[in-house]
Amino acid sequence: MSDPSKTCRIGKTGWSTPNLSIIIAAKNRISRRRLARALAGRAGRVETTGSAARLMSSLLHGGRSVVVLADGLAEGLALPTLVPLLKRCNPQTAIILAADDVPRREEFKVREQGIFYCAHRPVGAMAWDELQLAVDCACNRVLLEDGPVRCH
């Protein structure tokens, strides 16, 4: 029998697991709100932040997480610097990059560091669907992954 804390069900009502959070990290408050509305109901909890410190704190103390990085953070950390820090906070975290202003060189570095998915900022209906599917896949991977929830 499978562990109920690692099972999920996707339906019209969304995810039925309370031990997973989607953290939307973006400097722009409007971007955070749009992403939160689009991803609401996909996990037990949706959080938003514009701060790298708050994001890292959520990863350290929040259990299993999927992070959607949109347009940078208030501290101005470069993605190749930020992603390894996030992975150290919680190695099981799936990170999805959804931004247009990332230089190709940085995007390739971030992909090498274990980012789950990379997409452009969603504009049209198909792009929003793509992001929602990427989040669904990331949630499945995080929930079904064996091992500790966070490193100490």
For residue 34, the domain's CATH number is 3.40.50.2300
Beta carbons of 132 and 96 less than 8 angstroms apart = no
> Mean pLDDT in the chain?
80
Question: 15 to each of 7, 45, 55, how far by Cα in Å?
Answer: 10, 10, 22
For residue 35, the SS3 value is helix
Please give the pLDDT value at position 137. 92
Is residue 134 one of the residues assigned to a domain? yes
Is residue 75 one of the residues assigned to a domain? yes
Is residue 121 one of the residues assigned to a domain? yes
Contacts of 59 (CB under 8 A, 6+ apart): 23, 65, 67, 86, 89, 90, 93, 150
What value does the mean pLDDT take over residues 89-116? Answer: 85
Beta carbons of 77 and 52 less than 8 angstroms apart = yes
C-alpha–C-alpha distance, residues 111 and 103, integer Å: 12
Q: Is the pTM of this model over 0.85?
A: no
Is residue 111 one of the residues assigned to a domain? yes
Question: 29 to each of 45, 62, 143, how far by Cα in Å?
Answer: 18, 22, 28
Tell which residue, 19, 59, 20, 14, has the closest CA to residue 40.
Answer: 14
Residue 9 has pLDDT above 60, yes or no: no
Is residue 12 one of the residues assigned to a domain? no
Residue 53 has pLDDT above 60, yes or no: yes
The fraction of the chain above a pLDDT of 90, given in percent, is: 31
Is residue 8 one of the residues assigned to a domain? no
Is residue 59 one of the residues assigned to a domain? yes
Domain boundaries, position 69: 17-144
- Name the pLDDT band for 114 (thresholds 50, 70, 90): confident
Please give the pLDDT value at position 123. 84
> How many structural domains is the chain composed of?
1
pLDDT, tens digit, for every residue of 118-149? 888 888 888 889 999 999 999 989 888 755 44
Q: Which DSSP symbol is given to 5?
A: G
What value does the mean pLDDT take over residues 7-28? Answer: 65
Identify the residue with better confidence: 11 or 49. 49
Tell which residue, 149, 143, 147, has the closest CA to residue 9.
Answer: 143
